[in-house]
Amino acid sequence: MAKSLKQLIAKLIPAEYWNQKYRIDEWLYTKVENRFVKELCAELTPGTAIDLAGGEGRNSMWLAKRGWTVENVDFSAVALKKFRRWVREESVHEPALAGRCLTTKADARGFKSKLAPADLGVIAYLQIDQYELAAAIGGLVGKLKPGATLVGVWHSLDNLAGGFGGPRDPNVLPSVDRIRAILSGLNVDIELLENREGQIQTKEGLKPSITLVLQARVRD
């Protein structure tokens, strides 16, 4: 297919934009779990988890290896295929993993879950328009059990002014206030919602980066 046609399709169809990004041999976001997901989920008792917009599955795999049964929900067929391939490879050493890793190809703004109601919902770097993000978070919370944990990680809006990495479009960068407003209409209590200052590797070396992290609990 001509490059310009591919670019046009990617512009018109968001899932195809992501499919094109994922059509590489390497793992776009590495196979290493996100450090904030790790921090916020490490102490939780394994159960069932929905990894919304889980991509190639670095966080799903980490959770599954800790005993969670995980559903990686993403609208990129290419990313989910890579995740399933990775699961098959890892299952050679750890056969139980295959049964603990599920995939669902769906739009985050309205999806059906195989595991609902789940014990944990993870949403990491789903950088979409704020109204759409509200729909995605609301849908995810609706698929969690009373007492379940919701964990979110995003490039923060504050990263535009003071940080590097992530999208430069303010519409897809949530802030503490935006996430608080989204959650105010939902049946959850916020346990942690803050910007974290860190560093990312760029061509010019390490640069500051601001990440927004969330931990909330579904009310009983």
What residues make contact with ligand SAM under the rule CB under 6 A?
Answer: 14, 18, 29, 34, 53-55, 58-59, 74-76, 79, 107-109, 124-126, 128
Which tokens in the block code for residue 177? 């206030």
Ranges of H-type helices in the chain: 3-12, 14-22, 35-41, 58-65, 77-91, 96-100, 130-141, 158-162, 176-184
Name the minimum Å distance from CB 135 to ligand SAM: 9
Find the shortest distance in angstroms from Cβ 111 to ligand SAM: 8
Q: Which is nearer to ligand SAM, 151 or 216 (CB)?
A: 151
Nearer to ligand SAM, 26 or 189 (CB): 26
The alpha carbon of 103 is separated from its chain's Cα centroid by a whole number of angstroms, namely 13
Are residues 64 and 93 in contact, defined by beta-carbon separation less than 8 angstroms?
Answer: no
Cβ 47 to ligand SAM shortest distance, Å = 20
In the bound state with ligand SAM, the residue whose beta carbon lies nearer, of 27 and 176, is 27
Separation between Cα atoms, residue 62 and residue 87, nearest integer Å: 11
Q: Which is nearer to ligand SAM, 95 or 159 (CB)?
A: 159
